Amino acid sequence: MEYFEIVGGKRLSGEVYINGAKNAAVAMLPAALAGNDVCVLENLPNIEDVHSLVDALRKIGAKCEFRDQHTLVIDSRDVTDHNAHYESVKKTRASYYLVGVLLGRFGKATVALPGGCNFGTRPIDQHIKGFEALGAEVKIEHGMIIAQAERLVGTNIYLDLVSVGATINIMLAAIYAEGTTIIENAAKEPHVVDTANFLNAMGAKIKGAGTDVMRIVGVKEMHGAEYMIIPDQIEAGTYLIAGAITGGEVTVRNIIPKHMDSISAKLQEMNCQIEVGDDFVTLNVPGKLTSANIKTMTYPGFPTDLQPQMTALLCVAEGTGIITETIWENRFQYISELKRMGCLITVEGRMAVVEGGTQLTGAEALATDLRAGAALVVAGLAAKGRTLVGNVRYIDRGYEDLVQKLTNLGAEIRRVEIEE
Ligand code: EPU
């Protein structure tokens, strides 16, 4: 199995360039199929989730060619297939966006249910509710989501909870619907806004992205577009937290600092100094880190995708910190792995109480999902001695060049293969 081997205790310093946002990219790849034309996506992160989706796009007839590592040309003129089988979608949950886009374009989509996930059930009832409200008939049979509609007609859809996936999927299905679709209680995440901007560049008429109410006026035709994906706020946050845990000084470059506000504010509360520039944030740690309480929320609140990394940081900060996870019912599974490194954490339902001020010690631990893996790496950077993080395939799904980027900042980390 492949591991990341980390020798902790090195102070990070320097600059790190942030790649395009994973969760925007995995929505925009399917979105590029909305028109019968050619799209160019720039600033695509070079990560496993992107490659899995590109494979899925190819399997349904899209021609995808990389101009360089981060630029993809997608020609969707030959897409006639509205079937995405399990083999091509099993690797990434975001393949469910194929349902919305194919249903919108062809009035028909048959897409395998995406695979499970390691932090609890991930229902898609709100996606389905949206498709049905637009006039589609949706069935789940033999592990496939089968959606079809004679015609889709715009309507008002009120989401029972704020869902990034449902907001984007309904938006994709509604592009060509007759009349106006209104999504109330929509997700406001930067990647929702970015996907709407991309679709608008292709000819869609979407307003209100980034607010609670989105309005989509159906169009008759879409065309190709060239579009640059926003930077990844979660990748940037992970490097800031990595800098903080080593008492270092780290600048994250090529970012939109506004997207980092909730993260920067929390790090400041923990006694980090934050300097904000046009496209960068610099963090340094002038004294002792102090603890804080964190509650994950939808944007612009503190993102759940940085919760595990923050837990690692709270372990070394002075005092007790309480983390409340409000988005996912079961996103604390990684804590038993983190505890191998000496953390003092008690979990009660959706709350974790972290006793800080701990000198972490290197250990062998397994990533249970992408952000769990990132948290173990962050903890390893501060731990005394050697840490081995296993299941790195999870980390590869969402972080481009993690080892190289951390090495450039002064960490001692490498990828190793260890026989079972
Ligand atoms: N939910 C439902 N029904 C639905 C949809 C969602 O009950 O139909 C619930 C979920 O179970 C969850 C909450 O609503 O409790 C929020 O789920 P959401 O739909 O917003 O999540 P998602 O779209 O499946 C995306 C990201 C996740 C990130 C969440 C929350 C992608 C591909 N994934 O998931 O990212 O945690 O939004 O911000 O965009 C990650 O990057 O590590 C990751 C897991």
User: What 3-state DSSP class applies to 66?
Assistant: strand
CB 267 within 8 A of CB 304: no
Q: Rounded to an integer, what distance in angstroms lies between the CA atom of residue 244 and that of residue 153?
A: 50
Residues with Cβ within 8 Å of residue 375, at least 6 apart in sequence: 308, 309, 311, 312, 334, 338
Ligand 1 atom with least separation from CA of 187: 20
Give pLDDT, residue 173.
98
Q: What is the average pLDDT value for the chain, to the nearest integer?
A: 96
How much distance in Å is there from the Cα of 93 to the middle of ligand 1?
10
Q: Rounded to an integer, what distance in angstroms lies between the CA atom of residue 290 and that of residue 270?
A: 5
- In 54-199, the DSSP E strands lie at 63-68, 71-75, 83-84, 108-112, 137-141, 144-148, 156-158, 180-184
pLDDT above 70 covers what percent of the chain?
Answer: 99
Pocket around ligand 1 at a 6 A CB cut-off: 22-23, 26, 93-94, 122-127, 161, 163-166, 187, 304-305, 327-328, 370-371, 398
Helix (H) or strand (E) holding 417: strand 412-417
CB 42 within 8 A of CB 66: no
Q: What is the pLDDT of residues 193-220, one digit of tens each?
A: 999 999 999 999 999 999 999 999 999 9
**pLDDT category, 91, cuts 50, 70, 90?**
confident
Ligand 1 atom with least separation from CA of 22: 41
Give pLDDT, residue 21.
98
pLDDT above 90 covers what percent of the chain?
Answer: 91
Give pLDDT, residue 83.
82
Give the bridge partners for 206, in sequence order: 216
Q: Token pair of 151, please?
A: 């015609």
CB 172 within 8 A of CB 34: yes
- 64 tagged catalytic: no
Give pLDDT, residue 117.
59
Q: Rounded to an integer, what distance in angstroms lies between the CA atom of residue 117 and that of residue 91?
A: 10
Residues with Cβ within 8 Å of residue 313, at least 6 apart in sequence: 241, 244, 245, 270, 289, 378
| Domains detected in the chain | 2-19+231-417 (3.65.10.10), 22-228 (3.65.10.10)
Q: 56-67 burial, b if ≥16 CB within 10 A, otherwise e?
A: bbeebebebeee
Q: Token pair of 21, please?
A: 């946002």
Q: Which of 163, 169, 185 to mutate to test the pocket of ligand 1 (most atoms within 8 A of CB)?
A: 163
Give pLDDT, residue 116.
52
pTM over 0.95, yes/no: yes
Give pLDDT, residue 115.
65
Q: Rounded to an integer, what distance in angstroms lies between the CA atom of residue 328 and that of residue 311?
A: 15
The more confident residue out of 121 and 38 is 38
Averaged pLDDT, 334-354: 97
For residue 187, pLDDT beyond 60: yes
Give pLDDT, residue 120.
67
Q: Which residue out of 117, 272, 315, 343 is catalytically annotated?
A: 117
Which residue has the CA at smallest separation from atom 4 of ligand 1?
124
Which amino acid is it at 54?
V
Q: What is the pLDDT of residues 236-264, one digit of tens each?
A: 999 999 999 999 999 999 999 999 999 99
User: What 3-state DSSP class applies to 131?
Assistant: helix
Q: 78: buried, middle or exposed (CB in 10 Å: 19+, 13-18, 0-12)?
A: exposed
